[in-house]
Amino acid sequence: MTDSTSKLRIDKWLWYARFFKTRSLAAKVVSGGHVRVNGQKIAKSSFSISPGDVLTFPQAKQIRVVRIEMLGTRRGPAPEAQQMYFDMTEVRENVPRAPRFEGKGRPSKKDRRNLDLMKNSPLED
């Protein structure tokens, strides 16, 4: 780890902290204007950050808010990466989900024949 007086590029830090799989993907998100540092929108992946800064950025289907605790020197294992930040993201518990199929799975051949017979039978009035 580095000392607290140094600075590091934001794309490197996001990659070191394992928020993005590649550094180029982290740079793409930053240069797209989707990252905020201390509430200020940035658009350059070369922006320097230091411990104490608060980052807000999208990851997957949620918005992440993290405070930088320390800067890294490498992309290490996940437990080491989790020590680099404090996660301030609000936890959502009641997230509505898409409705699921209530059946028993794929119909058998016999069930499909019965469905075809029902579809092709003339309507009774």
Between 118 and 17, residue with greater pLDDT? 17
- 93-105 pLDDT, tens digit per residue, is 776 666 555 667 7
Q: Provide the total of helices (H) and of strands (E) in the chain, helices listed first.
A: 4, 7
- Write out the DSSP string of 51-86: TT-EEEEEETTEEEEEEE----SS---HHHHHTTEE
Residue 62, pLDDT above cutoff 80 = yes
**pLDDT at 118 (0 to 100):** 82
Consecutive H or E run containing 25: helix 23-31
pTM: 0.71
Residue 2, pLDDT above cutoff 50 = no
Would you state the structure tokens that stand for residue 102, as one six-digit string?
């209530």
Question: 8-92: what fold?
Answer: 3.10.290
**pLDDT at 120 (0 to 100):** 80
Q: Where are the domains of the chain?
A: 8-92
**pLDDT at 100 (0 to 100):** 59
Query: Per mean pLDDT, which of 1-5, 33-37, 101-105, 121-125 is the most reliable?
Result: 33-37
